[in-house]
């Protein structure tokens, strides 16, 4: 664009102003000092390029070497100089009045804009001065309320520590009997002191929030006005300083609010009498079978409070994240440096914790264990070990440093867990179970749906990158780096979890990994490495043996009748679930193994009765007959369990674990179809067929019984059978397509893509089910 000539018509002034506004450049966050002397006094050298401030706007300029003449330039065309600038020798630059004009240029329009700008600057500076005075007067009061929160929190922490000490003393086997009454009395007193201290702290927090609103409001307005002043005049550094100071004070207020809410969650992890959360849960588990609900009610009360606090702390975290995202780079780095490493606000993590909290509340365990047909689904919802999977998903979402393979393995396991949780809630709802707390059902499913959608999007992206179909994305700078001692472990029940490796300890040989909740600091589970078994085993607490009373045969037979009467409801529930197999939208979300669990638990009850007869009444008349009757009923239930589970598996997409179940229990045959077939894309294919035994008919082609196919890929024709490059299962419809083609057909459907990846076959099932069939049979050495 050429600005060297200007027209002086009445319309030209508007054109000139428009042209100037189009080529001005934004002011940088950090403005260097202007040139202090010489012909270029007042110009700014920004990244080795000269700039000038004209009328409150910043322009890139060109300096004529040897002459010191300064011209405006368009940053897109810096080789074409425009208007010439002139200086008043004091460092102030303006357009040269003697520019070449055709007929003379009216300056009224430009002067009017400058006049309006100056008036706006004056008004904004007056408003800013008033707000600064207001904020300065309110700051000491805000600090007083903040100090009151700190004092109250320190007192409450001390009270809770003393209460905990007395609780531990009362539960110590080494406590002298003579001291117990005095310790018990002091423990009672300290409970009251803790309640008063907690009330005082809550009051202090509420007072801080209520009485700092005017201060924060003044700061927010100051930041907005200072930002507007910066846009009008970047030559005044005090505007940036005012904006940054106001933003930093708002940030500190948000951190204070976040810290108070975080402490509120931490304070809820001990009962009113000083029990830790782990101790309270153990008491709950021991009391509920006897119909005692005191411990459980205390737990639910605290869990309800935690959920409400999580909603509040999520709002605070989102405000902190929004402020950091909006802040300029230099200021953002300064603010991030103030975040405590152990308590960095994360809305992603807090939403996952809401899911954890809802999972604690959705089932009302005080109403009993539920009907037999409900128990497998209730077990899914109350299994606390599932929390480790949700936290593993949180870790993958918020932390960098994990390999793509580790991320995929963890996310695939959590995906299946989310499927089970969703199916459990929906099934119990359809059963009309009274154990579901209705107020928490919809929020739980909503939070679970959000977590599942996020997981599937992340997992699908990882799969596409690993398959070289999508490019590797740029590193996510919002993720924090992985801790050096953090590990992905594979448990003996084939779950991929994430925990912290303990330092080695002489008194506890071997490797241990603790899975901790980063928000609460609670250890959810500990795993011990069993290297010879190739996995990690959960460390269960040592439980005292339970003395089982000897019952009469009459009592045993009465219980047997009760168990027998339960069977009809179990069968009806399974038939109801089986109807969902005809719904394509629900087919893959079902877990037929839950039907196996229903009937296996039923069978285990009969086996236990048979064992009880054998143990306590073996010499009684008809004892053997009674044992055999119970074992026959158990065997029939087990057989039925395998049948209904296999029927469900056959209708779903193939997975290696499902094929293993079907083959182990004799429902399918596996046959080698072809070996080392060359492929157009390169490499060689070995194919196996998985055939439904019920469909294998004498005299008919075996292919009619084919359900699925297992494809193993090899680089070379003579590669060992036990060392394929890749193996996966396919349906009949997928048999002729390559994996890449199937992934491309899935398109943007994340769930379809993930289902394809669930068909991957890995060790040890690859060798157990398929690869051994290609191994040559050992030849016998002929004897003389």
Task: Report the SS3 class of residue 144.
Answer: helix
The per-residue pLDDT for range 82-95, each reduced to its tens digit, is 778 888 888 888 88
Residue with tokens 């910066």: 230
Are 53 and 33 contacting, i.e. CB atoms less than 8 angstroms apart? no
Tell me what pLDDT residue 344 has.
Answer: 86
The per-residue pLDDT for range 12-68, each reduced to its tens digit, is 556 667 777 788 888 887 788 888 888 888 888 888 888 988 877 888 988 876 667
The whole-angstrom separation of Cα 70 and Cα 83 is 9
Tell me what pLDDT residue 14 has.
Answer: 65
pTM: 0.81
**Residue 506 CA neighbour count, 13 Å, CB half:** 0
The whole-angstrom separation of Cα 502 and Cα 50 is 57
pLDDT at 227 over 80: yes
Residue with tokens 């904020």: 135
Tell me what pLDDT residue 12 has.
Answer: 55
- Most distant CA atoms of the chain, gap in Å: 129
Of 107 and 693, which is predicted with more confidence?
693
Tell me what pLDDT residue 109 has.
Answer: 56
Average pLDDT over residues 269-298: 92
Residue 412 has a CB neighbour count (10 Å cut-off) of 19
Residue 619 has a CB neighbour count (10 Å cut-off) of 6
Q: What is the DSSP letter of 290?
A: G
Query: What residues are paired with 60 via a beta bridge?
Result: 51
Tell me the percentage of the chain whose pLDDT exceeds 90.
67
Tell me what pLDDT residue 104 has.
Answer: 39
pLDDT at 658 over 60: yes
pLDDT at 10 over 70: no
Go through the chain and tell me how many residues it has.
Answer: 784
pLDDT at 1 over 70: no
Average pLDDT over residues 457-462: 94
Tell me what pLDDT residue 67 has.
Answer: 63
Of 102 and 176, which is predicted with more confidence?
176
Are 155 and 163 contacting, i.e. CB atoms less than 8 angstroms apart? no
Tell me what pLDDT residue 473 has.
Answer: 87
Average pLDDT over residues 454-460: 95
Tell me what pLDDT residue 777 has.
Answer: 52
Average pLDDT over residues 319-331: 93
Q: How do strand 77-87 and strand 70-74 relate by DSSP bridges? A: antiparallel
Average pLDDT over residues 452-479: 91
The whole-angstrom separation of Cα 490 and Cα 127 is 62
Tell me what pLDDT residue 429 has.
Answer: 94
Tell me what pLDDT residue 713 has.
Answer: 96
Q: What is the DSSP letter of 508?
A: B
**Residue 87 CA neighbour count, 13 Å, CB half:** 18
> Which own/partner pairs from 469-478 qualify as long-range (CB within 8 Å, at least 24 positions apart)?
469/740, 469/743, 469/744, 475/400, 476/400
Between the alpha carbon of residue 670 and those of residues 649, 656, 660, 674, 703, the distances in Å are 16, 12, 10, 13, 12
On the question of a cis peptide bond just before residue 591, with omega within 30 degrees of 0, the verdict is no
Q: What is the DSSP letter of 685?
A: E
Q: How do strand 535-538 and strand 101-102 relate by DSSP bridges? A: unpaired
Distance between the two ends of the chain, CA-based, in angstroms? 103
Tell me what pLDDT residue 9 has.
Answer: 47
Q: What is the CA radius of gyration of the chain?
A: 37
Give the range among 37-41, 79-83, 413-417, 753-757 with minimum mean pLDDT. Answer: 79-83
The whole-angstrom separation of Cα 619 and Cα 613 is 9
């Amino acid at each position: 664009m050429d600005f060297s000539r200007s027209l002086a018509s009445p319309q030209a002034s508007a054109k000139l102003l428009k042209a100037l506004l189009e080529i001005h450049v934004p002011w940088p966050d950090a403005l260097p000092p202007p040139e202090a002397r010489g012909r270029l006094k007042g110009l700014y050298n920004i990244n080795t390029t000269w700039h000038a401030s004209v009328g409150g706007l910043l322009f890139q300029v060109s300096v004529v070497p040897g002459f010191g003449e300064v011209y405006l330039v368009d940053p897109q065309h810096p080789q074409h100089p425009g208007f010439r600038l002139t200086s008043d020798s004091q460092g102030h630059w303006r357009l040269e009045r003697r520019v070449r004009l055709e007929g003379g240029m009216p300056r009224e329009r430009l002067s009017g804009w400058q006049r309006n700008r100056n008036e706006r600057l004056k008004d904004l500076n007056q408003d800013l001065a008033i707000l600064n005075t207001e904020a300065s007067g309110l700051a000491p009061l805000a600090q007083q309320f903040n100090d009151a929160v700190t004092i109250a929190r320190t007192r409450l922490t001390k009270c809770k520590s003393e209460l905990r000490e007395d609780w531990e003393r009362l539960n110590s086997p080494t406590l002298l009997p003579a001291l117990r009454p005095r310790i018990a009395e002091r423990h009672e007193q300290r409970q009251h002191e803790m309640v008063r201290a907690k009330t005082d702290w809550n009051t202090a927090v509420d007072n801080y929030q209520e009485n700092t609103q005017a201060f924060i409001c003044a700061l927010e307005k100051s930041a907005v006005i200072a930002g507007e002043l910066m846009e009008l005049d970047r030559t005044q550094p005090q505007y940036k300083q005012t904006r940054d100071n106001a933003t930093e004070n708002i940030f500190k207020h948000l951190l204070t609010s976040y810290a108070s809410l975080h402490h509120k969650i931490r304070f809820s992890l001990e009962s009113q009498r000083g029990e830790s959360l782990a101790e309270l849960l153990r008491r709950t588990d021991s009391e509920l079978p006897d119909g005692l609900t005191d411990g459980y009610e205390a737990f639910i009360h605290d869990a309800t409070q935690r959920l409400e606090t999580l909603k509040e702390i999520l709002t605070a975290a989102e405000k902190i994240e929004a402020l950091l995202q909006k802040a300029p780079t230099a200021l953002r780095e300064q603010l991030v440096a103030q975040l405590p490493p152990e308590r960095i606000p994360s809305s992603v993590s807090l939403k996952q914790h809401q899911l954890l909290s809802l999972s604690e509340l959705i089932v009302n365990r005080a109403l009993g264990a539920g009907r037999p047909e409900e128990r497998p689904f209730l077990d899914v919802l109350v299994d606390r070990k599932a929390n480790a999977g949700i936290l593993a998903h949180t870790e993958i979402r918020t932390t960098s440093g994990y390999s793509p393979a580790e991320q995929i393995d963890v996310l695939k396991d959590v995906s299946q867990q989310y499927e089970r949780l969703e199916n459990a809630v929906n099934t119990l709802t359809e059963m009309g179970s009274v154990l579901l707390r209705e107020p928490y059902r919809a929020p739980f499913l909503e939070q679970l749906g959000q977590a599942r959608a996020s997981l599937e999007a992340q997992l699908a992206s990882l799969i596409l990158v690993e398959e070289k179909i999508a490019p590797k994305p740029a590193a996510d700078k919002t993720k924090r780096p992985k801790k050096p001692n953090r590990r992905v472990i594979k448990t003996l029940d084939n779950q991929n979890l994430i925990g912290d490796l303990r330092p080695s300890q002489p008194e506890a040989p071997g490797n241990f990994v603790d899975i901790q909740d980063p928000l609460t600091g609670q250890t959810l589970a500990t795993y011990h490495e069993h290297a010879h078994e190739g996995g990690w085993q959960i460390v269960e607490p040592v439980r005292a043996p339970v003395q089982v009373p000897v019952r009469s045969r009459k009592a045993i037979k009465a219980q047997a009748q009760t168990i027998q009467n339960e069977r009809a409801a179990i069968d009806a529930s399974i038939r109801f679930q089986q109807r969902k197999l005809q719904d394509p939208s629900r087919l893959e979300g079902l877990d037929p193994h839950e039907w196996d669990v229903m009937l296996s638990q039923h069978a285990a009850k009969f086996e236990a009765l048979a064992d009880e007869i054998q143990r306590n009444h073996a010499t009684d008349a008809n004892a053997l007959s009674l044992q055999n009757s119970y074992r026959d009923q158990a065997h029939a239930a087990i057989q039925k369990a395998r049948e209904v589970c296999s029927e469900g598996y056959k209708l779903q997409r193939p997975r290696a674990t499902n094929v293993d179940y079907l083959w182990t229990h004799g429902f399918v045959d596996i046959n080698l179809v072809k070996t080392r077939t060359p492929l157009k894309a390169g490499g060689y294919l070995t194919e196996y067929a998985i055939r439904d035994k019920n469909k294998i008919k004498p005299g008919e082609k075996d292919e009619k019984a084919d359900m699925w196919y297992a494809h193993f890929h090899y680089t070379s024709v003579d590669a060992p059978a036990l060392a394929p490059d890749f193996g996966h299962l396919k349906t009949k419809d997928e048999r002729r397509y390559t994996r890449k083609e199937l992934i491309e057909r899935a398109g943007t459907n994340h769930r379809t893509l993930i289902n394809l990846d669930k068909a991957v076959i890995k060790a040890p099932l690859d060798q157990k089910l398929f690869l051994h069939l290609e191994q040559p049979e050992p030849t016998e050495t002929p004897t003389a």
